[in-house]
């Protein structure tokens, strides 16, 4: 049985271990431990039989917009519903926060499409919001905005958006 709960600081090292294989293959961005600790409140984790087997974060970008980040599942439990359950909880959290749109950058286009996400290109926010969001120093926000200051998307991931 999969249990989803908010992440705790004590989970950070396990979250990093979950993400590391994906970061090594350049599927997810690797982060320093301090980055995980600073954003632990954005994370949910999945447990089965007391073992942490998945993680995912919801980062609020604007009053109506969030981003699913760092969705990772232990490769030993892929295709068992852990990723689906985590994503559904992240989308539920987005609704709880009053968000109406959720964005992701992903290689798993089919997985996210099954959950109502669609590929997007170009601007997805109004010009005045774009100007405000430009002030963020977060590289994920910069990628969302498709800013030139971010490295070109050499990884080949897809920008996707879901309306809630």
Rounded mean pLDDT of 61-78?
93
Supply the pLDDT for residue 164. Answer: 97
Closest CA relative to residue 80, chosen from 107, 56, 48: 48
Closest CA relative to residue 16, chosen from 76, 92, 72: 72
Confidence category of residue 153, pLDDT binned at 50, 70, 90: very low
- The distance in angstroms from the start CA to the end CA of the chain is 27
Pairing between β-strand 101-106 and β-strand 65-73 as defined by DSSP bridges: parallel
Supply the pLDDT for residue 62. Answer: 86
Report the half-sphere exposure of 145 (CA within 13 A, side-chain side). Answer: 23
* 137-150 pLDDT per residue, tens: 665 665 565 554 44
Rounded to the nearest integer, the mean pLDDT of the chain is: 87
Confidence category of residue 112, pLDDT binned at 50, 70, 90: very high
Rounded mean pLDDT of 108-133?
84
Residue 94 has pLDDT above 90, yes or no: yes
pTM for this prediction: 0.86
As beta bridge partners, residue 123 has none
* Both structure tokens of 81: 């519903």
Residue 59 has pLDDT above 70, yes or no: yes
Three-state SS across 60-113? EEECCEEEEEEEEECHHHCCCCHHHHHHHHHHHHHHHCCCCEEEEEECCHHHHH
């Amino acid at each position: 049985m999969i249990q989803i709960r908010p992440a705790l600081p004590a989970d950070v090292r396990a979250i990093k271990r979950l993400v590391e294989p994906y970061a090594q293959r350049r599927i997810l961005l690797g982060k320093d431990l301090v980055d995980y600790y600073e954003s632990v409140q954005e994370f949910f984790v999945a447990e089965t039989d007391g073992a942490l087997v998945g993680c995912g974060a919801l980062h609020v970008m604007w009053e109506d917009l969030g981003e699913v980040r760092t969705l990772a599942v232990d490769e030993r439990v892929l295709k068992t519903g852990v990723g689906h359950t985590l994503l559904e909880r992240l989308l539920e959290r987005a609704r709880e926060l009053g968000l109406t749109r959720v964005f992701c950058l992903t290689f798993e286009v089919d997985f996210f499409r099954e959950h109502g996400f669609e590929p997007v290109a170009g601007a997805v926010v109004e010009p005045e919001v774009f100007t405000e969001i430009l002030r963020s120093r977060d590289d994920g926000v910069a990628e969302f905005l498709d800013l030139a200051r971010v490295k070109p998307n050499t990884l080949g991931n897809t920008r996707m958006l879901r309306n809630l």
